[in-house]
A and B are shown apart, each in its own frame.
With several copies, the nearest count.
Chain A
Amino acid sequence: MIETAVQYIYILSAALFVFSLKWMRSPTTARRGCFAGAAGMLLAIVGTLMRPEVVDYKLIAGAFVIGIIAGVPLAYLMPMTAVPQRTALSHAFGALAAALVGTAEYYRATPHGAVMVALVFETLLGFLTFTGSMMAFGKLQEILPQRPITYRNQNVINLSILGLAVAAGVWLTIQPEHAWLFPIFIGLSLIFGVLLIVPIGGADMPTVIALLNSYAGLSAAAMGFALGNRLLIIAGSLDGSSGLILSIVMCRAMNRSFTNVLFGAFGQVQATAGGPHEQRTVHSASAEDAAQILDSARSVIIVPGYGLAVAQAQHKLRELYDVLTRRGVDVKFAIDPVAGRMPGHMNVLLAEADIPYDRLFEMDDINSDFAQADVALVIGANDVTNPAARTDKSSPIYGMPILDVDKARTVMVIKRSMSPGFAGIDNPLYYLDKTLMLFGDAKSFVTDLVKELSEVAKAA
């Protein structure tokens, strides 16, 4: 009886997860989607607690309390710019749970056949995702060096470790009794997770995180096979496919392949191959000059990039938007799909600052407008404005979708120096005659601009 009730609860829970993802399609229903997901999880937990096999609630209750105490501040105290790190950390937790369940199940029941195959998958994926995500967290949080670390025969070594782990796993599925092999298998999985991330640059982490999301999901699905639990299979495979799609989308947006992200050690090669520095002139300007130009413009397109997130300048930017709008300037925001370090990074950032999102335009919708714009104001963006992606076949970012800021009458670029962005390459945009470099930290420079503009307003 109870078992039947549990199954219906599980089916409902699975349906809620599906709705949850469906509702994430549009901003108007997205919060409902999040709520549905949480409700699905609650049902899953309640259903599981109801099962007759679960007899001891003390430890579980304790773990729940700790989980809630740890989870709430993790959600509310994290600044929005730390979302990538938090996601990485969270993956590590999820994958660890899956891996530990697999381990415990092995020592408890030492299963055979298909169940053991599933268990091996679960444990392998779980542990490698655990260490991999911890590494990713370290790189994003800048505890570990951001740059890719490479050494000779790296790929050969990595693949051998993976090969050994898989071999141990196969052996275990054939002879599950070899309990001494299991810790070795675990160790190899853990090491492989670390080695997988070492050669990947910090800036590629978001793509890797999406991929690790996929692994964590598959690990949960494998757990479902091992425990004969359909809800785990459904939720796990929804996750697995979601992570896969997201990482593909991100690779495609950067015009790179999976292999290139995973084995390309991107960020190092380009930094050294930056090319000879020809002595080319740039025009720079002060906040006062820039404010004047902005004030006399009729239409301004603002192009935010990673530097905006670094400088946490979104709220100041909102003030700039307000003051310009009040002075009758038509202000739009151009969002490149790969601006920042996470898909939708800029959207989240600008939304945080309460910038109305009917002023935000996707690349394809706004690229034709640059030709009519008086000013393109680039704030902390670099690669996504690099015209070399359109014209220079030899450039590593050739083919990456970029914003056509160079078509605007005047281009202004706020950044701290002439140093390159994520791709580590020079940006010809800066040497154009129509380009004014506004050197400084994004937040303080925008503050200055707002001040100047307000003074103009008062004077008028």
Chain B
Amino acid sequence: MLTDLEVGLYIFMLATFLGLEIIRRVSPLLHTPLMSLTNAISAIAVVGSILITGAAHASTLTRTLGFIAVTASMTNAVSGYLITDRMLKMFKTRKPANRPGAAQ
């Protein structure tokens, strides 16, 4: 009944509105980790990359490009989530802490 394009437009509209609403309320305290999180989410390109690379009768060109794409987005995803978590670990609430500052 609906073409892919029309469904896509519905979803694009709703997701964009939703993104704008949510992000506007993130405290500036967390803007740096947020940027690195959304960066990790942009590794979603991995979905397309897998489809290209794993397809049945893919040409060598397609496979090569797909392989690079999967590698790039996988690196992106792994490092993105890990570093975001590393950053966020620093934000955990602490007791008014009086252990002497752990020098590097």
Contact = CB atoms under 8 A, between A and B. Distances in A.
Direct touching of A and B (C-beta under 8 Å) = yes
Interface of A: 3-4, 7-8, 11, 14-15, 17-18, 20-22, 24-28, 30-31, 33-35, 37-38, 40-41, 44-45, 48-49, 51, 53-57, 59-60, 62-64, 66-68, 70-72, 74-76, 78, 80, 83, 86-87, 90-91, 93-98, 100-101, 103-105, 107-108, 114, 209-210, 213, 216-217, 219-221, 223-225, 227-246, 249, 312, 315-319, 321-322, 325-326, 337, 342-345, 347-348, 351-354, 356-358, 362
Contact of B50 (A40, A60, A94): A60
Contact of B63 (A4, A59, A72, A245): A59
- Interface of B (DSSP majority class): helix
30 contacts: A20-B37, A21-B34, A25-B27, A34-B37, A34-B85, A53-B54, A53-B55, A54-B55, A55-B56, A63-B53, A63-B74, A68-B74, A75-B82, A86-B36, A97-B49, A100-B69, A100-B72, A101-B65, A104-B69, A225-B8, A230-B2, A233-B11, A234-B10, A236-B42, A237-B19, A241-B15, A243-B35, A322-B98, A348-B90, A354-B94
Interface of B: 1-20, 22-56, 58-59, 61-63, 65-104
B87 A105 contact: no
Contacts of A241: 15-20, 23
Contact of A318 (B20, B46, B101): B101
Given A72-B78, A232-B48, A315-B101, A237 B12 contact: yes
A227 B77 contact: no
A94 B45 contact: yes
A213 B55 contact: no
Given A101-B49, A101-B52, A231-B44, A30 B38 contact: no
A354 B3 CA distance: 52
B62 to A, nearest CB: 4
A233 B92 CA distance: 33
Given A94-B76, A101-B48, A348-B87, A337 B28 contact: yes
